[in-house]
Amino acid sequence: MNSTATAARLRDYFLSDPLMATAVAAALFALATTPLAFAILGRLSWFKARRGRVMQRPEFSSIVCAMLLVMGIPAIFMALVVKSQHFDEDRYEFDPNKTWSVLEQGRGYHTVKEADEAVKREATRLAEVRKNLVESVKKLDESMLALRAVAGTSPAVAQAIPTVLQRLAKIHESIGLDGPQQLMDFTAPPVAIAAIPASSPSQGPVANLAPAPALVAPAAVTGLTKAQVDAELAAVPEPQRPLAAMLPLSDLPAEWTVGKLGDRHLESFNADNLFEKIDGRAESFLQYNVKGMAYANLHPTGDESNELQVYIFEMSDPLKALGKYGSEKSDDAKPLTIGSEGYTAAGSTLFYSGRYYTQIVSTTDDPKFSAFAVELAKRIAEKQKPDASGLAPAEDPSKAQSTPDSLFALLPSGSGRATPKYAAQDVFGYSFLSDVFMADYQEGGITWQGFLRPYKDAKEAQAVFDKYVEGAKRDEAEVKTIDAEGADRMIVSSNIGLVDVLFLKGNVVGGANGATETKPAEAFARAFVKSLPKTVPAIATGP
């Protein structure tokens, strides 16, 4: 078996470069025959040299040295050939400004598994670098927020700060961080700031919101009256009016006040003008089919130095809301049971409920702000309940649809399952694969991602399955069809040391992606497809 393999490798080498293979064979022949030639010539007295009138045989050591010198010629040639096969072709193209990847740093990895482990270590290092960068930008945010109070009394600062925030927004966009000041609207400087007495910068807003009797006997609750709320909502465009009605503008604790936004207390935006409020981040919401957004802020009564900023985004469907929520959720967030899912971080509260994604951003990590943010979130989530399920009417079973929770529940438990998540688009690098539910799995030192995607019918699922197979073959992967109980079709695709096991069952495409070994991934996919029902209700993906 070994001789056959060796012969095959020699044949492949000759076919790949016949000229080089012929030269190597000649050099090897020269090396092998030189000692034999010296032995034969020595027997024939060929080395005898004339010394005057006498033929004398040279010393044996002289003959050996001469033989080694002759053998050095093919030996040096062979050494150059071997080194040329392993030398860096780009050795003269060094670029000191280029960041080399793990695989470009040398050929020190003997197996794909070693390279994969090195890539994982590099990914861990980059994640730590990104985390440190995010923390540094957060500290910069805290410093920038101090300028907000100054902007209220200094026209020069008010005019300069929008440019600074726009530049800072690009940094937030690059690292995927929602900065409080990035969400502020400083589109115009204050009017007649110099006319406001420096000793009472908050005199204007307070005069409109707090009647004189309140100084003696403050009411138990504050906020806008019903008439004020109705007047504010009447000015909101009809498509965003239900969204704006979810903002907590009335029945607030006495120590909290609704902030003023020019001559109003709320703002609303649609997909076309969302950039006016969150320039630099609007594109990321458009990718998740945002329909509109409503905004308001609340601050402690008599103190506008810090605030809670409330953003309620409406997506096209619950799936898109989940996708956007999941894309911004940090690893160190504290889970919170609210809406469909939520968490708290640095005094802020974020959650999604049905097709709504809500952010209550605190400009300070203060327990008082954090507790009130949670209370506001509960009020908003209560108003979002009617649309939270995303299900079709119960009286029409044929239109029943899956929810994110029901699809996550179909992913197998065990095998080190962790981190269930939803991917909205370009899953595994395929543009045709979107709205996929997945989880990470591990068995020993082997990892992979289990995934599931139900479609409206078997024909659509079949089309996606075929595109996946075609893409794998186009990438020169080794694709093998196997039989599996419960599956209409199942394939094993191997490429660059990674294994995908993909199955088709009715209207569902699923399997295991990115495993480092075939056996556990195939066993997982077989058990997975066997556990699924014949048909899984499709997911609502919106218009």
For 27-52, what is each residue's pLDDT tens digit?
888 888 888 888 787 766 666 665 55
Q: Which residue is it, tokens 């406001």?
A: 196
| CB 179, CB 143: distance < 8 Å | no
Calculated CA dihedral for residues 238, 242, 246, 249, nearest 10 degrees: 40
The Cα-based distances of 37 to 91, 239, 377 in angstroms read: 41, 97, 94
Phi, psi angle pair for 274, to nearest 5°: -60, -30
Q: What are the DSSP calls for 403-449, one per residue?
A: -HHHHHHHSPP-TT-EEEEEE-SSGGG-TT--SEEEEEEEETTEEEE
The Cα-based distances of 132 to 138, 145, 485 in angstroms read: 10, 20, 48
Residues of the chain with pLDDT under 50: 179-219, 387-398
Q: Is 156 left (phi over 0), alpha (psi -120 to 50) or beta?
A: alpha
What pLDDT does residue 159 have? 65
Measured between alpha carbons, how far is 39 from 189 in angstroms, rounded to an integer?
100
Q: Which two tokens stand for residue 292?
A: 């509109």
What pLDDT does residue 167 have? 73
What pLDDT does residue 494 have? 87
Question: Do strands 290-300 and 334-336 pair parallel, antiparallel, or not at all (unpaired)?
Answer: unpaired
Q: Whole-prediction pTM value?
A: 0.51
Q: Which two tokens stand for residue 92?
A: 């003269």
What is the radius of gyration, based on Cα positions, of the chain? 36
Q: Taking the alpha carbons of 318, 241, 148, 173 in that order, is the dihedral positive or negative?
A: positive
Measured between alpha carbons, how far is 445 from 165 in angstroms, rounded to an integer?
45
Beta-carbon-side half-sphere exposure of residue 50 (alpha carbons within 13 Å): 2
Q: Is 101 left (phi over 0), alpha (psi -120 to 50) or beta?
A: beta
